[in-house]
Amino acid sequence: MSIATLVERLFPGSRRELITGGVPVSDLAGRFGTPLFAYDAGVADARWARLRAAVPAECAIAYSVKANPNPAILRRFIARGAGLEIASAGELQLALRAGCPRDAVLFAGPAKTDAAIEAALQERIGEIHLESVGEARRADAIARRLGVTAPVAIRVNPAEDAQGGAMRMGGRSAPFGVDEEALQDVIAVVLSRPSVDFRGIHLFSGTQILDYTVLLRQYRKALAIARSVAARYGVVVRTLDVGGGLGIPYFDGETELDVERLGKGLEELVGRCQQDPLLASARIMLEPGRYLIGEAGLYVTRVIDIKVSRGKKFVIVDGGMNHHLAASGNLGQVIKRNFPVALVERLDEAPKETVDVVGPLCTPLDVLARDVRLPSAKIGDLFAVFQSGAYARTASPLGFLSHASPAEVMVDDRTVTLIRRRGTHADLFHDLPDTGELPAVTTPRAS
């Protein structure tokens, strides 16, 4: 996606310099240092408002915490009516502390520990979405021990996946969900245990889908599975979770997802549910992450060094894949393609050279932009990666090479709030046995 288009759509008022939420990015870098994540609250709000308006009122939307778990972001979406989809005991704590109504929290994801299931049941969250027969049995045992009922939906790994997404999670062997062909096993467990309350079906088979017809195909599939479960087992389906996966444009040639047409398709599905006695109580639920927060985020770095090696020019910046694995192409991309990037204070300059922009790690994988055309960069310039609100900081190897973790700020119509401080060297020691004191190691004596 071209920088000019992105800037015009998301960061209006930027001319020579990039402005987010009414504040020049160089001011943010000056105040908070680099590397830095800056989230434009207005962009996030607009995404929420657009999706909420497009999707029928009968459908619930749960923000997927894994996309960006910063509490300020969670609170922002909760305040606008979002529930939260969580995937770990840690995300449960984040959801609760952010003030999400308990019944609007749903817990999906593999490897739910007994402790996590217990915490979810004790906190009386809305639903646990089961990923296996074993998990169903454990949820039952824990619910019985606690003397509560576990509200559960079953996540299904469909027999065919959603074509057209960047990362497929269904349609083949997968650790996610229960194979569509083997549903009877988990349903037998769920329906035979009084401590487990069957609420519905969850189907999520891919992320970063830009074609609304692909998503609708997946939603129809979810509806068909829910209907057949209701018919076969005589159960009432109350939740039909059709997953997340709504994409944003990153690369050349990609265009925005048409959420209005997606909404029209959902309207038809809501109508079909309402008219179908087997699905009349089913509430359709979406759980997008990337779509809601991805476009609001900028990752801002500073040029530390510039060098030419055997004819190739490298612009070396102070942060890279340690903070933004996805932009380096190492999070699910088969062939590295560049995220949209720019020199922050030189948007109006024509590109003059082709360079690799690389981060500070001692690995050739740490490339933020390969063979990218830029104005000629100088040491001290600010370099930004766009579309960096989702699966960026949270999905990166922050500890690699022990660089300080980046701060996060939220800019809301000229008001800037630090929503996560920059890491310090003290953080490198905080989880060691005794502030830096490692236990003594006894070396065996050579005989």
Residue 248, interface with ligand PLP (CB under 6 A)? Answer: no
Residue 392, interface with ligand PLP (CB under 6 A)? Answer: no
* CA 66 to each of CA 9, 236, 354, 407: distance values in angstroms, whole numbers, following the listed order: 25, 30, 35, 18
Nearer to ligand PLP, 56 or 109 (CB): 109
Q: What is the DSSP letter of 352?
A: -
Helices (H) and strands (E) in the chain, counts: 11, 22
Dihedral angle of Cα 321, 324, 327, 333, to the nearest 10 degrees: 80
Q: Which of 151, 245, 263, 320 binds ligand PLP (CB under 6 A)?
A: 245
Considering only 42-50, 264-272, 286-294, 336-344, which stretch makes contact with ligand PLP by CB under 6 A?
A: 286-294
Interface with ligand PLP in residues 75-104 (CB under 6 A): 85
Residue 63, interface with ligand PLP (CB under 6 A)? Answer: no
Residue 396, interface with ligand PLP (CB under 6 A)? Answer: no
Least Cβ distance, residue 220 to ligand PLP (angstroms):
18
Compute the distance between CA of residue 94 and CA of residue 370 in angstroms, rounded to an integer.
36
Task: Give me the DSSP letters along 205-221.
Answer: -EESB--HHHHHHHHHH
Considering only 38-46, 63-71, 343-351, 430-438, which stretch makes contact with ligand PLP by CB under 6 A?
A: 63-71
**Continuous segment of H or E residues that includes residue 60:** strand 60-64
Helix/strand/coil for 414: coil
Nearer to ligand PLP, 242 or 357 (CB): 242
Helix/strand/coil for 7: helix
Interface with ligand PLP in residues 305-364 (CB under 6 A): none
Name which of 430, 426, 341, 423 is nearest 32 in CA terms. Answer: 423
Question: Is residue 419 within 8 Å of 72, Cβ to Cβ?
Answer: yes
Nearer to ligand PLP, 24 or 177 (CB): 177
The pair of structure tokens assigned to 110 is: 């593999």
Nearer to ligand PLP, 289 or 360 (CB): 289
Nearer to ligand PLP, 34 or 64 (CB): 64
Considering only 137-145, 186-194, 285-293, 346-354, which stretch makes contact with ligand PLP by CB under 6 A?
A: 285-293
Name which of 114, 112, 108 is nearest 84 in CA terms. Answer: 108
Helix/strand/coil for 187: helix
Name which of 258, 251, 280 is nearest 213 in CA terms. Answer: 258
Residue 295, interface with ligand PLP (CB under 6 A)? Answer: no
Residue 164, interface with ligand PLP (CB under 6 A)? Answer: no
Compute the distance between CA of residue 130 and CA of residue 404 in angstroms, rounded to an integer.
37
Residue 367, interface with ligand PLP (CB under 6 A)? Answer: no
Nearer to ligand PLP, 66 or 346 (CB): 66
Least Cβ distance, residue 35 to ligand PLP (angstroms):
23
Handedness of CA 269, 272, 273, 279 (dihedral sign): negative
Residue 177, interface with ligand PLP (CB under 6 A)? Answer: no
Compute the distance between CA of residue 447 and CA of residue 445 in angstroms, rounded to an integer.
6
Nearer to ligand PLP, 133 or 331 (CB): 331
Nearer to ligand PLP, 32 or 291 (CB): 291
Q: Which of 246, 257, 285, 384 binds ligand PLP (CB under 6 A)?
A: 246
Residue 47, interface with ligand PLP (CB under 6 A)? Answer: no
Least Cβ distance, residue 267 to ligand PLP (angstroms):
20
Q: Which of 36, 106, 108, 285 binds ligand PLP (CB under 6 A)?
A: 108
Task: Give me the DSSP letters along 156-182.
Answer: EE-SS--TT-SEE-SSSS-SSSEEGGG
Residue 120, interface with ligand PLP (CB under 6 A)? Answer: no
**Continuous segment of H or E residues that includes residue 412:** strand 407-412
What residue is closest to ligand PLP based on CB?
244
Residue 67, interface with ligand PLP (CB under 6 A)? Answer: yes
Q: Which residues bind ligand PLP (CB under 6 A)?
A: 64, 66-67, 85, 108, 204, 207-208, 243-246, 287-291
